Every structure is written in C-alpha cells, then in structure tokens.
Structure 1
Amino acid sequence: MAATRWAADPQFARDAFLLAGYLAEYLQFRRYSDDGVVVGRAAQGAARRAGDRKCEAEAWNRTGISLRDTGRVWEAIEAYRQAFFLYRAVGQERGAAQAACNIGYTLGDVGQFDDAIRALTDALGCFQRTGDLHSEAGVRTNLAVILRKCCRVQESVETVRRAIQLYRETGDRLRESRAWHGYGQALDAFGKPREAVDACLQALAVSEEFEDWHGCGKTLYVLGMIHERAGEPARARSSWLRAAEFYDRAGAVRDAALARRAARLTGSAEPAGKPTPASPPVGKTAPSTGSAGRGAARR
C-alpha cells in the first residue's frame, strides 16, 4: 500500500498503477475493503498523471468494488459510472460492459431491479458477441441474483446453471463455487431444498479448498436458511454457528453477529410463527476487477 502512494512522483506513476491492480485482487479476496479504496484512489491519480484514460477507467472500476464492499453503495455506483464513461471515451467496449455489469449488480442492492436487469442484459450481450465466456459467466451469476429477487425464479435457476457450465469450461473453480452458491439459493426459492443443499455443499467444499473464509460463511448462512425453512432447526442452528466461525476467520464481525443471532433464535423455544432469520449479509458474488467474472456474487 505504501508503494502505491509513490504515484505522487510522476516517474513512478505507471508502476504504481500496475502494483495497485495486482494488489486489488488480494485485497478484495481477503476483504480489506477500506485498504482497497485507498489503493484504488492512488491508482486513479497515477493513471491521470500518466495520461492513460483506460487505466484510469480500470482504477475507477476497482475502487467501486471496494466501495460497495464497505457498504458505500451510491459512491460505488458513481465510481462504476465514471469507469463506464471513461471506457466508452477510449472505445473499450468490453471494459464498458464490465462497468455496466457492476452498475447493474449494485443497483440490485438498492432495489432498482428493472435498471439492474437492463444494465446486466446489455453487458451480457457484449460478452456473448465477443465470445468472452468467463465474463459472460460473471454477468450470469449476478443476473441470476437479481432475477431471484424479482421472483423470476425459473429464469434465475437457468441463468446461474449456465454460469456454472461456463466457469467449468474456463477453469475458474473458485468463481464456479460462487455460482454454485447462487444456484443453491435459486433452487431453494424454486422449491427444491434437497437440490439446494447439494449445490451449497459443492460451493462450500471449493471455498474451503481456496481458504475463502467469507465465502464459506455466506454459503453456510444460506444453508441454515434452507434447513430452517425445511423444518430442520437443529441443522439450521449448526450451519449458522459454523457460518459465524468462518466469518470470524474472515474478520467479518457484523456478519458473524448476524449468524449467531439467527442460531440463538432457532435454538430458543419460541412459539410457531417467529420471524425468519435475517437475509444473508450482502457480499458480491461477483462484481469484477478485471473481468465481469471476477470477484462474486460478492460475486
């Protein structure tokens, strides 16, 4: 991080930008989101000093990802829009589609589902035209989330199933696991809890292999919800407690507290009809860093 700040010196601007790009993936994976914002801002300044508008667009896009992960959703949307217009200005259609994908997914956070679907559909069309299968998978993973929130559940299932296939074809097992996570949620909403559990277990196994502790926590949280709705409170409680442990390992204090609260509610002798535990904490399944398939459904 200190090295990226050397971008203040023009002779280091290009190197500082490149370093920030490599560092962004690590910071996103380990959820050091505040650090990601700092590095992203430094990269923006470095790109401007180097006079490289394409690199500046990439820096805005990465900054948006970190802003969303810190909960600064509207700032993230504005950062993605800056990236979109800069990509367009230099004729980078694929980059503009990456930014559009991130705009669409983040608009879903604030309930603007129609606008979200339009942005994601436009991005999907671009990647299909250019044959970019990996980025198409990322868009499909994000689009499936929005479709599920809109109660277009069958479309959500079909969309994310295709994302799994594409990630398998392109050899990205980690992001394939995040698509499996989304597939589990879609199957549960479609009334297929057993298949949903199997999908989540697929996601969990790969997340553990890659030491994606936050991904493990998210998937276990969803598993708890599936078990709770299926009338299996003991399994639900066990899943939520395990989710809390993984969230602790990821440094996600608030998410861990939500998981433990869900476990307490399920373990208490409350009357029938008690409130359903909170929805899973927001996390990207996959807004992208370098392609629309990168990051998931905090991705």
Structure 2
Amino acid sequence: MCEERRFTEAVDACQQSLAIFRELGDRHREGLALIELAVALQGTRRFGEAIEVLRECVAILGELEDTESQADALLNLGSALTRAKRYEEAIAVSRRGLVIQTERGDRHREGTALYNLSLLYRVTRQYGEAMSACQRSAAIFREIGDRRSESKVLVNQAVVLMKTRRFMEAVNVRRQAALISRELGDGDASSRAANRILEMEERMKDRYGTPLL
C-alpha cells in the first residue's frame, strides 16, 4: 500500500509538472515529463493510460528529433505493452527502438534492446527470432566488455535452447553464464544456481574422469 501511495503521489506531481510545461509551450520538457508520468502510471498498474501517454511522448520527441529520448520512450512503451500482455505490439515498438539505437551507434543500448526483444520472442514462442536476438545481444556485450549483461543474455539463450529441446547446447551456454558469474563474484540467486551447475560438472568429472560435454 505504501509503495502504491508513493506512485499515486508521483502521478499527481508529474501531471502538475506536465501542465506547467504545456502552459509554457516547452515541448521538449513536456515530452520528458510524459515519460516520468508513464513510469508513475505503471507503478499504479494503469498500463492502458501509460501506453497512451507514451505514444504521445514518442510523437513529440520524434517531431523534435530527440532520438535518444525517443528511444527511451519506446523502451518504456515496450515495457508497458509487455506488462499489459500486448506482446505483438511490444515487439513492433521494440524493433523500432532497436533501429534507432543502431542508427545512433549506442552499442550498449542496442544490446539491451536486442535482449528485451529476445524475451518477447521467447514468450511468444518465436524461438528462432529469440535465438538470433540472444546471439546478437551477447556478441555486443562481449565486444564492449559488459560481462554481467552478457551473462544475463546467455541465461535467456539457455532457456530458449531448452524450449527447443536442444538440451546439451543449453547446458553448455548455461555453463558459460556460470563461468562469467563466478569470475565477477556475483552472489544473486541466478548466479548461485549457475554455480551449482559448475559444481555438479566438477563432481562428475572427478567421478567419471570426463565433463558433461
């Protein structure tokens, strides 16, 4: 209840700021305020309203040719559509955001956009597209040295492989993610689970003299 009340208060504050920027005729700050309003609306689970706000925001920022902020708005719009279970619309929006990030040359955000797409493709059972997005995303994060993000993508890639019954490949990819997590010293639940895979393989190697793969 406390968190919901906080988001409700944020909605009110954002709406007041938005009214001021509109009165001043400041279109750019109006567009940015719409992003903040949409985030607050999502916090109160008003996804339909957030989606409409973000569509307006994307249009304004597009007119102003602020591609960086427009891409952020598209990212938030994709998130709102996903939370509303409007997956095909979320995929279309995420593809549009990916194009912008690629054109801007922002490699990290391009990798993030591909990762988000891979999740959407997976939930809609478009496993071929999901695999391609995972591979491209992991390659980008590897190239720019973001090992933690690469590990996260590899975990999703392993899930896609499991869904397509490519079990041994899934174990191999999961092992790669586990090795990265171990190198980074991560201690979250996902990393601990990954480390258990490595420990199991080490026990198998000690017992039988050969790894799983």
CA distance in 2 between partners of 1:135 and 1:151 (Å)? 24
Which of the pair has more CA radius of gyration? 2
Deviation of the 1:140 alpha carbon: 1.7
Change beyond 3 A, Cα 1:239–1:80: farther
Q: Distance in 1 between matches of 2:135 and 2:4?
A: 30
Distance 2:12 2:180 in 1: 34
Moved more, 75-84 or 203-212: 75-84
Does the aligned pair in 1 maintain the 2:81–2:87 contact within 8 Å? yes
The aligned residue for residue 274 of structure 1 is none
**Alignment CA distance shift 1:87-1:187 (3 Å):** same
Match of 2:27 among 77, 93, 103: 93
Cα distance in structure 1, aligned partners of 2:7 and 2:143: 30
For residues 119 and 234 of structure 1, do their structure 2 counterparts lie closer, same or farther at Cα, with a shift above 3 Å needed? farther
Cα distance per residue 1:237-276 (max 9 Å; x no partner) = 444443345456666532xx225437869xx9xxxxxxxx
Aligned to 1:258: 190
* Structure 2 residue 130 is the aligned partner of structure 1 residue 222: no
- 1:200 aligned partner, one-letter code: C
Gaps of 5+ in 1: 1-71, 269-299
Contact 2:178 2:194 survives alignment (8 Å): no
Query: 1:229 offset after TM fit, Å?
Result: 2.0
| Residue identity (%) | 22
Unaligned runs of at least 5 residues, structure 2: 201-213
Alignment length (residue pairs) = 193
Name the residue aligned to 2:48: 114
The 1:73–1:239 alpha-carbon spacing in structure 2 relative to 1, beyond 3 Å, is farther
State the SS of the aligned residue for 1:253: coil
Which amino acid letter does the alignment assign opposite residue 190 of structure 2? L
Is 2:134 the counterpart of 1:200? yes
* Change in 2 beyond 3 A, CA 1:251/1:146: farther
Aligned partner of 1:135 in structure 2 is 69
Against the structure 1 CA distance between its residues 160 and 245, is the aligned structure 2 distance closer, same or farther, given a 3 Å change threshold? Answer: same
Compute the displacement of 1:102 (Å).
4.5
Computed over aligned residues only, the root mean square deviation of the Cα atoms, in angstroms, reads 3.5
Higher relative contact order (CA 8 A, sep 6+): 1
Instruction: Give the Cα–Cα distance (whole angstroms) in 1 for the partners of residues 125 and 75 of structure 2.
Output: 20
3-state SS, counterpart of residue 89 of structure 2: helix
TM-score, normalization by structure 2: 0.70
Give the letter for the 2:111 counterpart. Answer: S
Q: TM-score, normalised by structure 1?
A: 0.52
